[in-house]
């Protein structure tokens, strides 16, 4: 029978066969994906993330991607410091990362990160935290908000997300809502402000306040926004208890441990370790609450002169955190990340410092059960251009999420609007144990 002369029954039969085959395609594709390590998504087993934020723009050429030495007086581009070898053959770092150099086999400096957003601090900070440009229609969540949403908290007495630093919109949970938001603290010797009841508020007075709150709950929780706020308030009351506030008593740690972590930034890292061990999924630790070199990591002009003070403080804190987690058996379960909004150029400005450079810079991963190699990616002689394929910020986010067992291909929803969890990011497969 000619193709145009088939019976209705034959057409329906063929159509049913095609429908059945189409229904099988997703299963076949999934099976092929699971069998083919080149197409399947690697997922790690880490459960917590400590995100060290170096606000201002860490100079990759002076830290984790050192190059031949330059001279600001002669206007010769290059590294500001001497370099030293590390525990990984062929991988070098700045001389001021001496302790970290010894544990670089637990670290990977991703040297070819890039983004195309404006080389301006606020815009770049937002981009590195969210992986997306600022939008007028969608409030994109930060990477911390996403982890909080996906992993929650490991304990009813701890929040999922803590920022040790000042509040900032780039850390917000965006459309994921207040339940995925962060609790922030600015002091390592005390818990969050407002968690300790004022001495004028007696137990009876507090009880009356809670009775009034209960009445308001019965009347208003039909509103979803009010319900969400009330859930956060209830969590805050739980966190005001002794189990959570005890975590801020760093005197429980031995003097040798506290000394190993170093100064104030190191004490924040120690607090972060205590927080993740108590169940917090994501802790961001800000390095630049107080600029010990006058400018923080934004090393224009004279800020370059004392940059080594920042690098040394980072060195002692990072190496102590890695070794402490390892000793306690939790390094593989805890992913350590060093984030910064962009890098710095190899050339020196008129004042002997450095400008901004987002086309090729370093972000760092440690622990988290990854297959570390000291460094990933190669750059040119001035650490300005990638010689191997670049790693976008969404790619870096995808790697972070995958290490925490979160599918980087997942879709989130802003109301009814689907939003990919990253902006097309793909994890660095080679950093994961072979499937």
User: What single DSSP character describes residue 76?
Assistant: B
DSSP 228-271: HHHHHHHHHHHHTSHHHHGGG-GGGS-HHHHHHH-SHHHHHHHH
**Whole-number Å distance between alpha carbons of 82 and 96:** 9
Query: What confidence tier does 190 reach under pLDDT thresholds 50, 70, 90?
Result: confident
Q: Answer for the pair 284, 53: CB distance below 8 angstroms, yes or no.
A: yes
Mean pLDDT throughout 72-101?
97
Of the candidate ranges 39-53, 140-154, 217-231, the one whose mean pLDDT is the lowest:
217-231
Q: What was the pLDDT predicted at 244?
A: 85
Region 44-195+247-431: CATH code: 3.40.720.10
Q: Answer for the pair 342, 55: CB distance below 8 angstroms, yes or no.
A: no
How much is the pTM?
0.85
Of the candidate ranges 253-267, 286-300, 328-342, the one whose mean pLDDT is the lowest:
286-300
Look at residue 336 and give its three-state secondary structure: strand
pLDDT tens for residues 371-411?
999 999 999 999 999 999 999 999 999 999 999 999 999 99
- pLDDT at position 23 over 90: no
Q: Sign (positive/negative) of CA torsion 201, 204, 205, 206?
A: positive
Mean pLDDT over each residue of the chain, to the nearest integer: 87
The CA-CA-CA angle for residues 365, 366, 372, to 5°, reads: 90
pLDDT tens for residues 315-327?
999 999 999 999 9
- pLDDT at position 32 over 80: no
- pLDDT at position 13 over 50: no
Of residues 282 and 188, more confidence is placed in 282
- pLDDT at position 98 over 90: yes
Percent of the chain with pLDDT over 90: 71
Of residues 405 and 226, more confidence is placed in 405
386 bridge partner residues: 379
Q: Are strands 107-114 and 411-414 parallel, antiparallel or unpaired?
A: unpaired
339 bridge partner residues: 53
**Whole-number Å distance between alpha carbons of 296 and 180:** 29
Of the candidate ranges 45-54, 191-200, 279-288, 321-330, the one whose mean pLDDT is the lowest:
191-200
pLDDT tens for residues 333-361?
999 999 999 999 999 999 999 999 999 99
**Whole-number Å distance between alpha carbons of 301 and 404:** 39
Name the helix (H) or strand (E) containing 53.
Answer: strand 48-53
Place of tokens 């969404």: 394
Q: Answer for the pair 151, 179: CB distance below 8 angstroms, yes or no.
A: no
Query: What confidence tier does 236 reach under pLDDT thresholds 50, 70, 90?
Result: low
Name the helix (H) or strand (E) containing 18.
Answer: helix 8-35
**Whole-number Å distance between alpha carbons of 9 and 15:** 10
Of 119, 65, 57, nearest to 381 by C-alpha is 65
Of the candidate ranges 71-80, 180-189, 231-240, 279-288, the one whose mean pLDDT is the lowest:
231-240
CA-based end-to-end distance of the chain: 51
């Amino acid at each position: 029978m000619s193709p145009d002369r088939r019976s209705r029954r034959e057409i329906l039969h063929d159509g049913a066969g095609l429908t059945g085959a189409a229904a099988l395609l997703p299963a076949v594709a999934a099976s092929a994906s699971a069998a083919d390590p080149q197409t399947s998504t690697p997922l790690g087993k880490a459960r917590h993330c400590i995100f060290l934020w170096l606000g201002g723009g860490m100079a990759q050429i002076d830290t984790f991607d050192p190059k031949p030495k330059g001279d600001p007086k002669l206007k010769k581009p290059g590294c500001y410091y001497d370099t030293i070898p590390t525990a990984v053959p062929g991988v070098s770092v700045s001389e001021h990362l001496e302790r970290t150099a010894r544990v670089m086999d637990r670290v990977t400096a991703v040297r070819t990160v890039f983004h195309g957003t404006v080389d301006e601090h606020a815009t770049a900070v937002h981009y590195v935290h969210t992986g997306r440009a600022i939008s007028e229609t969608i409030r994109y969540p930060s990477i911390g908000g996403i982890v909080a949403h996906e992993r929650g908290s490991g304990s009813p007495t701890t929040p999922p997300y803590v920022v040790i630093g000042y509040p900032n919109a780039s850390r917000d949970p965006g459309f994921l809502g207040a339940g995925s938001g962060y609790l922030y603290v600015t002091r390592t010797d005390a818990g969050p402000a407002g968690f300790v009841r004022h001495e004028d508020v007696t137990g009876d007075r507090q009880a009356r306040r809670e009775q009034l709150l209960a009445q308001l709950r019965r009347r208003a929780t039909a509103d979803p926004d009010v319900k969400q706020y009330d859930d956060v308030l209830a969590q805050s009351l739980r966190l005001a208890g002794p189990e959570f506030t005890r975590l801020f008593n760093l005197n429980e740690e031995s003097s040798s441990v506290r000394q190993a972590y170093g100064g104030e930034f190191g004490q924040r890292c120690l607090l972060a370790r205590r927080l993740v061990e108590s169940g917090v999924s994501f802790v961001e630790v800000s390095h630049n609450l107080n600029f010990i070199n006058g400018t923080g990591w934004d090393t224009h002009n004279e800020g370059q002169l004392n940059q080594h003070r920042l690098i040394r403080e980072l060195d002692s804190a990072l190496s102590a955190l890695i070794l402490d987690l390892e000793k306690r058996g939790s390094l593989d379960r805890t992913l350590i990340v060093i984030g910064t909004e962009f890098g710095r150029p190899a050339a020196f400005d008129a004042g002997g410092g450095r400008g901004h450079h987002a086309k090729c810079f370093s972000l760092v991963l440690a622990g988290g059960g990854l297959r570390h190699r000291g460094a990933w990616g190669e750059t040119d002689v001035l650490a300005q251009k990638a010689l191997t394929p670049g790693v976008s910020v969404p790619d870096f986010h995808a790697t972070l999420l995958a290490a925490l067992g979160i599918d980087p291909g997942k879709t989130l929803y802003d109301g009814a609007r689907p939003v990919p969890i990253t902006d097309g990011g793909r994890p660095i497969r080679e950093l994961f144990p072979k499937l």
